[in-house]
Amino acid sequence: MIYDPQVYAIEDRAMHPFISEKEIEGILNDAIPTREMVREIIAKSLSKQRLSMQETAILVNATDPELVEEIKAGARQLKEQVYGKRIVLFAPLYVGNLCINNCEYCGFRAANKEQKRTTLTHSELIREVEMLEEMGQKRLILVYGEHPKYTPEYIAETVRTVYQVKKGRGEIRRVNINAAPLDIEGFKTLLDAGIGTYQVFQETYHRGAYALNHNGGVKKDYDWRLSSLDRAQEAGIDDVGIGALFGLYDWRFEVLGLIRHVNHLEKVYNVGPHTISFPRLQRASNARFDPQWEVSDEDFTRMVAILRLAVPYTGLILTAREPAEIRDEVLQFGVSQIDGGTRIEMKAYYENGEQQDLDSEQFEICDMRSLSEVMDELIDKDYLPSFCTACYRTGRTGEHFMEFSVPGFIKRYCTPNAMLTLAEYLEDYAQNGTKEKGYRLIQLNLEEMNGDPFKSKLEERLELIKQGDRDLYF
Ligand code: SAM
Ligand code: SF4
């Protein structure tokens, strides 16, 4: 032991910084894994208990290939036992790429004069949403640069607009936000507009790496960002998403930073984050980053398995930044949400951007499949794609936690609602042979409910959807 990490731990207080580098580094240094310890920790997670920072560090430091395989097998088992085969789908929509900050890694940063700057007009926003609805999307995340133009009132107005757009049988039923940290009043304004999750990624929990990568604008202030989701909670938004941008610093440190953030929110607000995101750095227009922290595919997939075991009840989000093969592997470890049919160039849904142009997007994505291709592939692999928004709309917040901790919750709500939203998709948007395949999958899932009196209620609703009813849920 180089020093006692406990001595450096910072007490959790609302809206106060809680990350101590010495605590995290000390824990990582002290964690010397043995086979027995790794197995005990995996067993603890499989018994539905979350892991401490020390236990997570043991998994992080376990590099023996056999142990890595056991960690991945543990994550697979947890996913199968607890979550089943459901995968929730969403799409990002970039509303504006004006930005006053200078994040070295981002194509939108103020100093990048080659970036084409756009803020969607009201009618352009409507057009984009219509296109997304015509694909079959029901859940969006709206993304904004940080700029005086993107006030809380402006963001709230765009959220309201999105909810109002109805194209054919389409509608957006949940709007999440990824935008700059706000003050408490600002968060209240967004709460009133009916947002789902508010995401702010810390990017890196390491102050030194943070300072190197954020050279200007408001985002330079590490503590303002770190305390942002506390302010969201103070404003009444209990549905928040945390994240780290993997590739800015040592991934091991970032994993513990994320877990420390979960601990902080649980300690102070009694509720952990709804989701964790773990984007990996991608190529971006005129971006600069230190290649020494690049996260290999091998470390990345291992890291997702560790996160699943460490916080078994938190939603994990994977995006189209990752290529299809990586997505396929980590889906097995319990990623709960993915985006499908993603385009991140400004106006790309309407203008049908098949090509990527680095100068009109934030960064490059690796998975350019359409939503229908992603749906097809999920169905082929027996995953149950879901567009469910029932919990949020019935006030059952914290659904990941409930899925995990309330016995029978998934069987009673999540799986049936996934089937209902899949049936809607099949009726309204499926192409080629997807409809037949999709109904076969629904049938298979129904057979697993044999003997359950609830099955007939679900069958009735599936029949109503075939006859034209929409938005049915439990
Ligand atoms: N401007 C706001 C902010 O910085 O929080 C809103 C979101 S920003 C448009 C969305 C996220 O994209 C950032 O938090 C960052 O993690 C991620 N990002 C930025 N540049 C990236 C890159 N080159 N590769 C992958 N992700 C990147
Ligand atoms: Fe602006 Fe966000 Fe990009 Fe930083 S990550 S330059 S704040 S859009």
Q: How far is the CA of 344 from the centre of ligand 2 (A)?
A: 14
Distance CA 146, CA 425 (A): 35
Domain boundary among 327, 357, 392: 392
Q: What's the pLDDT score for residue 13?
A: 97
Among 193, 102, 101, which residue's Cα sits nearest to residue 142?
193
Question: Both 100 and 73 in a single domain?
Answer: no
| Nearest ligand (C-alpha, residue 294) | 1
Q: What is the span of the domain harbouring residue 214? A: 85-392
Asked if residue 359 lies in contact with residue 285, where contact means CB atoms within 8 angstroms, the answer is yes
Residue 474 lies in a domain: no
Whether residue 202 has its Cβ less than 6 Å from ligand 2:
no
Residue 403 lies in a domain: no
Whether residue 461 has its Cβ less than 6 Å from ligand 2:
no
Question: Both 134 and 197 in a single domain?
Answer: yes
Q: Which residues are CB-contacts of 148 (< 8 A; sequence separation ≥ 6)?
A: 100
| Nearest ligand (C-alpha, residue 213) | 2
Mutation test of ligand 2: which of 100, 146, 201, 277 has the most ligand atoms closer than 8 Å to its C-beta? 146
Mutation test of ligand 1: which of 102, 106, 143 has the most ligand atoms closer than 8 Å to its C-beta? 106
Mutation test of ligand 2: which of 94, 95, 106 has the most ligand atoms closer than 8 Å to its C-beta? 106
- Which atom of ligand 1 is nearest to 199's Cα? 5
Residue 110 has a CB neighbour count (10 Å cut-off) of 20
Q: How far is CA 143 from CA 55, 236, 258, in A?
A: 34, 21, 21
Instruction: Return phi, psi of residue 430, to 5°.
Output: -65, 140
The H or E element containing residue 199 is: strand 198-199
Residue 397 lies in a domain: no
Whether residue 145 has its Cβ less than 6 Å from ligand 2:
yes
Distance CA 139, CA 254 (A): 28
Asked if residue 384 lies in contact with residue 422, where contact means CB atoms within 8 angstroms, the answer is yes
Distance CA 408, CA 406 (A): 6
Q: What's the pLDDT score for residue 358?
A: 63
Mutation test of ligand 1: which of 178, 190, 280, 294 has the most ligand atoms closer than 8 Å to its C-beta? 178
Whether residue 106 has its Cβ less than 6 Å from ligand 2:
yes
What the block records as the tokens of 303 is 């890291």
CATH number at residue 267: 3.20.20.70
Q: What's the pLDDT score for residue 4?
A: 83
Whether residue 101 has its Cβ less than 6 Å from ligand 2:
yes
Domain boundary among 80, 114, 129: 80
Residues having CB within 6 Å of any atom of ligand 1:
105-106, 143-146, 178-180, 200-201, 203, 245, 279, 281-282, 284, 287, 321, 362-363
Question: Both 70 and 90 in a single domain?
Answer: no
Distance CA 360, CA 195 (A): 27
Question: Both 75 and 104 in a single domain?
Answer: no
Chain-centroid distance of CA 9 in Å reads 28
Whether residue 219 has its Cβ less than 6 Å from ligand 2:
yes
Question: Both 211 and 74 in a single domain?
Answer: no
Question: Both 70 and 93 in a single domain?
Answer: no
Q: What's the pLDDT score for residue 2?
A: 63
Q: How far is the CA of 198 from the centre of ligand 2 (A)?
A: 16
Residue 472 lies in a domain: no
Alpha helices in 235-358 (DSSP H): 251-269, 297-310, 324-331, 348-351
Q: How far is the CA of 106 from the centre of ligand 1 (A)?
A: 6
Domain boundary among 341, 367, 392: 392
- Which atom of ligand 2 is nearest to 214's Cα? 4
Nearest residue (CA) to ligand 1, atom 14 = 201
Question: Both 112 and 52 in a single domain?
Answer: no
Nearest residue (CA) to ligand 2, atom 6 = 109
- What does pLDDT average to in each consecutive run of 10 residues of the chain (474 residues)? 82 97 97 98 95 98 98 96 90 96 95 92 96 96 97 98 97 98 98 96 98 94 98 95 98 98 96 95 87 96 97 92 90 92 85 64 78 95 96 78 74 93 98 94 96 94 98 96
Question: Both 32 and 121 in a single domain?
Answer: no
Q: What's the pLDDT score for residue 70?
A: 98
Q: What's the pLDDT score for residue 422?
A: 98
Asked if residue 327 lies in contact with residue 342, where contact means CB atoms within 8 angstroms, the answer is no
Whether residue 108 has its Cβ less than 6 Å from ligand 2:
yes
Question: How many structural domains comprise the chain?
Answer: 3
Whether residue 363 has its Cβ less than 6 Å from ligand 2:
no
Distance CA 124, CA 130 (A): 10
Q: How far is the CA of 101 from the centre of ligand 2 (A)?
A: 6
| Nearest ligand (C-alpha, residue 243) | 1
Whether residue 99 has its Cβ less than 6 Å from ligand 2:
yes
Mutation test of ligand 2: which of 100, 108, 141, 201 has the most ligand atoms closer than 8 Å to its C-beta? 108
Asked if residue 105 lies in contact with residue 212, where contact means CB atoms within 8 angstroms, the answer is no
Question: Both 95 and 63 in a single domain?
Answer: no
Question: Both 288 and 225 in a single domain?
Answer: yes
Whether residue 349 has its Cβ less than 6 Å from ligand 2:
no
- For residue 277, the cross-strand partners are 243, 317
Question: Both 64 and 118 in a single domain?
Answer: no
